[in-house]
Amino acid sequence: MIVDVNGRADAARFVASANCDERPSGEAITLLVLHNISMPPGEFGGDGVVRLFTNELDYDAHPYYRTLVDMRVSAHFLIRRTGELLQFVPCGMRAWHAGVSVWCGRSSCNDYSIGIELEGADDVPYAEAQYRVLAGLAQALRAAYPITDVVGHCDIAPLRKTDPGPSFDWLRFRSSIE
């Protein structure tokens, strides 16, 4: 997999999200943040995540969706349980995935990170295909940017987030990108 000069991964299907903006001038991308998401919670394979990230979610389609009214979020990438890779925001842009966050004393992690969503839940094992695609993506991103750390959303916002959760095998993932 290759990430081109425009910040697009060649293996990803691009679905543009408006939920992004310019990074601060001169800000280097040094952090990968891993998340999990399922919509509705615990249900996989639907179009809820794509619709949320593209502001096309039908808030009446599920009671949970009503809690997301007016929420404008995105991530750079989504890795579905099948291994399908979607990209919503070019890496050079700031996706709105981390919220209020701090890593190593630096706040506003969206400014200097790339957000990768894994279709999943804290307590559901991730699929083999997801680990395989995540490893390839992480390697490509590390080749394209001066990334020094890979963390979970739980690490940068520990009082409000738990993802990617205890079901994520950090040891397996880290050994696949060394």
Which active-site residues does the annotation give? Answer: 117
Using CA of residue 106, residue 116, residue 35, residue 88, what is the dihedral sign? positive
Token readout for 106 is 């630096």
Determine which helix (DSSP H) or strand (DSSP E) holds 113, and give its type and residue range.
strand 113-119
Cα–Cα distance for residue pair 4/141, rounded to 1 Å: 10
* CA-closest candidate to residue 163, choices 115, 108, 104: 115
